[in-house]
């Protein structure tokens, strides 16, 4: 049992307990042969055990706050938790004043009785899609662990915590792919909602225009449940639907460039599953996708917005930053205001053009990332390789953030093969429909 609906049923039936689930998670985290030491920046062992005992008592009395009360989750290190500093994967904020409130998205999960077992490692300040962290170490993707391959970023620890059974689900953020890239690199599901649905207050911001909060888990149903709770909606498992007649747009430009053979094969297999289920696959060019990179090349939205957030902290603690993160943020100091305004206006125009072209489709499909997980050591020791690989891994996923849409990554590789993500992109505020489509495709991919 690795997903929320199954565990909720088992908890209701009394075949498992919250205390048992928490002990299993804590045991996985503490395993000296596992990734726990670099996956978590802080473990809530005592608090999690106390919460689990409370949830078991409440369930026995018929007072559990939700069917999911007592299920262990992990929380990315950039969320405010009352009484604690919010380091955001950095050392320069390790001694920051404690948060006075818990981030609303996390508070809603706590109200539903889900139990955080710890804070997870991440790319410093969420500014990379690779997941490397020179301060706390880098957790390895579960695939080819002996070689040591990237977990994806920036929600690196969250993805590994789920893949290794240290948590049933993880809560991350996604500014350019930070839930979906780690999901693809670790063989799990990652969801980026339409940003406005889930409050971003209390999450250390990378880009106020592009930030969103989403879950990583073992199934679409898990992601849908957690997303609904964080959005303040009733948590419902996506209803079944037929894929027959579904109009699926396959972008013919940009998203397939520089694709590795393993990705191409897994992507083709996923498309074949869609087609076999009756979906209509329609290949077409989307010129708007090619217009995003030129806007971002001048700094776009995330660099000046990150500079605005960090400029005072950099003034007093620049040497404590990951230098690769620091150099990207410091570009914002030299971006004129008119370039930033131009980027905002260009974004609006590109969104309008893309919306007009996709209105006759149900969903867009593409590889989440064009590569399987690269080797960590090769990126740690080569700045040029780090930069080019980071841009490549972010290319497809970042489009959904720029276009203000919802998107989900599903694992589409065969068992034992390198992890590959298959991304579906929906319309702005089309989250419910996208999740239903994703759940239907997930069932086909697991046949």
Contact 143, 35 (CB under 8 A): no
CA dist 188 and 169 (Å) reads 10
Where does a domain end: 230, 262, 280?
230
pTM for this model (two decimals): 0.98
Enclosing H/E stretch for 314: helix 302-317
194 part of a folded domain: yes
The length of the chain in residues reads 447
Residue 20 is predicted with a pLDDT of 98
Say whether both 295 and 217 belong to one domain. no
Say whether both 252 and 222 belong to one domain. no
Say whether both 392 and 322 belong to one domain. yes
**Geometric angle at alpha carbon 345, from 341 and 348, rounded to 5°:** 145
Say whether both 215 and 318 belong to one domain. no
Which residue, chain included where needed, has tokens 């919250």? 18
Say whether both 225 and 254 belong to one domain. no
Say whether both 146 and 259 belong to one domain. no
Q: What residue ranges in 218-279 does DSSP mark as E strands? A: 247-251
Whole-angstrom CA distances from 163 to 152, 184, 308, 374, 431 are 13, 11, 35, 18, 24
Q: Under DSSP, is residue 214 helix (H, G, I), strand (E, B) or coil? A: strand
Which residue, chain included where needed, has tokens 């007649």? 245
CA dist 318 and 412 (Å) reads 41
CA dist 45 and 42 (Å) reads 9
Say whether both 225 and 290 belong to one domain. no
Enclosing H/E stretch for 365: strand 363-367
The two tokens of residue 267 are 């992507």
Beta bridge partners of 423: 366, 409
What stretches of 112-163 show up as alpha helix (H) in DSSP? 156-163
238 part of a folded domain: no
259 part of a folded domain: yes
Contact 242, 278 (CB under 8 A): yes
Say whether both 169 and 258 belong to one domain. no
Contact 194, 429 (CB under 8 A): yes
How many CB atoms sit inside 10 A of residue 447's CB? 7
213 part of a folded domain: yes
Residue 447 is predicted with a pLDDT of 65
CATH number assigned to the domain comprising residue 21: 3.90.1300.10
User: How would you class 15 by CB atoms within 10 Å of its CB: exposed for 0-12, middle for 13-18, buried for 19 or more?
Assistant: exposed
275 part of a folded domain: yes
**Geometric angle at alpha carbon 195, from 191 and 410, rounded to 5°:** 15
Catalytic residues: 76, 154, 178
Residue 2 is predicted with a pLDDT of 83
Residue 225 is predicted with a pLDDT of 98
10 part of a folded domain: yes
Where does a domain end: 230, 263, 292?
230
Q: Of 153, 208, 214, 207, nearest to 178 (Cα)?
A: 153
Where does a domain end: 185, 201, 230?
230
241 part of a folded domain: no
Instruction: Give me the torsion for CA of 220, 226, 229, 230, rounded to 10°.
Output: -120
Q: Of 151, 157, 211, nearest to 182 (Cα)?
A: 151
Which residue, chain included where needed, has tokens 């939205």? 301
Contact 195, 150 (CB under 8 A): no
Whole-angstrom CA distances from 101 to 80, 83, 203, 315 are 7, 8, 11, 27
Whole-angstrom CA distances from 75 to 87, 177, 246 are 13, 17, 35
Say whether both 220 and 281 belong to one domain. no
Say whether both 282 and 215 belong to one domain. no
Contact 436, 239 (CB under 8 A): yes
Q: How many helices (H) and strands (E) does the chain have?
A: 16, 11
Domain that holds residue 154: 4-230
User: How would you class 417 by CB atoms within 10 Å of its CB: exposed for 0-12, middle for 13-18, buried for 19 or more?
Assistant: middle
Upper half-sphere CA count for residue 139 (Cβ side, 13 Å) = 35
Contact 322, 347 (CB under 8 A): no
Say whether both 406 and 263 belong to one domain. yes
- Please report, in tens digits, the pLDDT of each residue of the chain (447 residues total): 689 999 999 999 999 999 999 999 999 999 999 999 999 999 999 999 999 999 999 999 999 999 999 999 999 999 999 999 999 999 999 889 999 999 999 999 999 999 999 999 999 999 999 999 999 999 999 999 999 999 999 999 999 999 999 999 999 999 999 999 999 999 999 999 999 999 999 999 999 999 999 999 999 999 999 999 999 999 989 988 999 999 999 999 999 999 999 999 999 999 999 999 999 999 999 999 999 999 999 899 999 999 999 999 999 999 999 999 999 999 999 999 999 999 999 999 999 999 999 999 999 999 999 999 999 999 999 999 999 999 999 999 999 999 999 999 999 999 999 999 999 999 999 999 999 999 999 999 986
45 part of a folded domain: yes
Residue 75 is given by DSSP the state E
Task: Please report, in angstroms and rounded to a whole number, the separation of the first and last CA atoms in the chain.
Answer: 18
Which residue, chain included where needed, has tokens 């689930």? 21
Say whether both 162 and 218 belong to one domain. yes
Q: Spell out a b/e string for 231-258, using b for 16 or more CB atoms within 10 Å of the CB, else e.
A: beeebebbeeeebeebebbbbeebbbee
Please count the structural domains in the chain. Answer: 2
Contact 363, 249 (CB under 8 A): yes
């Amino acid at each position: 049992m690795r997903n929320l609906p199954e565990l909720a049923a088992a908890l209701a039936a009394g075949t498992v307990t919250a205390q048992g689930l928490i002990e299993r998670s804590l045991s996985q985290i503490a395993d000296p042969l596992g990734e726990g030491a670099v996956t978590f920046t802080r473990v809530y062992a005592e608090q999690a055990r106390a919460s689990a005992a409370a949830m078991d008592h409440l369930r026995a009395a018929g007072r559990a706050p939700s069917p999911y009360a007592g299920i262990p989750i992990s929380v990315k290190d950039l969320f405010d938790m009352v009484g604690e500093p919010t380091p955001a994967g950095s050392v320069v904020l390790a001694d920051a004043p404690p948060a006075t409130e818990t981030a609303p998205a996390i508070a809603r999960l706590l109200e539903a009785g889900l139990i955080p077992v710890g804070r997870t490692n991440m790319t410093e300040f969420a500014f990379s899609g690779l997941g490397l962290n020179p301060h706390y170490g880098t957790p390895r993707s579960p695939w080819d662990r002996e070689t040591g391959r990237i977990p994806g970023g920036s929600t690196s620890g969250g993805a590994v915590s789920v893949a290794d059974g240290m948590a049933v689900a993880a809560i991350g953020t996604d500014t350019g792919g930070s839930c979906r890239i780690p999901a693809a690199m670790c063989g799990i599901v990652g969801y980026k909602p339409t940003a406005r649905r889930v409050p971003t207050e209390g999450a250390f911001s990378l880009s106020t225009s592009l930030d969103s909060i989403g879950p990583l888990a073992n199934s679409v149903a898990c992601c849908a449940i957690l997303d609904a709770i964080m959005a303040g909606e009733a948590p419902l498992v996506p209803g079944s639907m037929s894929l027959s007649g579904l109009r699926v747009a396959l972008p013919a430009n940009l998203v397939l460039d520089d694709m590795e053979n393993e990705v191409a094969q897994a992507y083709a297999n996923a498309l074949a599953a869609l087609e076999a289920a009756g979906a209509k696959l329609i290949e077409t060019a989307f010129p708007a996708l090619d217009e995003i990179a030129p806007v971002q090349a001048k700094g776009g939205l995330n660099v000046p917005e990150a500079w605005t957030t960090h400029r005072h902290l950099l003034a007093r603690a620049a040497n404590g930053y990951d230098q690769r993160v620091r150099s990207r943020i410091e570009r914002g100091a030299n971006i004129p205001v008119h370039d930033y305004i131009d980027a905002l206006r260009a974004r609006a125009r590109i969104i309008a053009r893309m919306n007009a072209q996709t209105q006759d489709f149900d969903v867009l499909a593409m590889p989440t990332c064009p590569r399987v997980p690269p080797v960590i050591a090769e990126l740690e020791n080569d700045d040029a390789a780090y930069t080019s690989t980071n841009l490549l891994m972010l290319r497809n996923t970042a489009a959904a953030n720029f276009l203000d849409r919802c998107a989900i990554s599903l694992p589409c590789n065969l068992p034992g093969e390198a992890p590959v993500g298959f991304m579906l992109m929906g319309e702005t505020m089309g989250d419910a429909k996208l999740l239903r489509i994703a759940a239907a495709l997930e069932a086909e991919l697991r046949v």
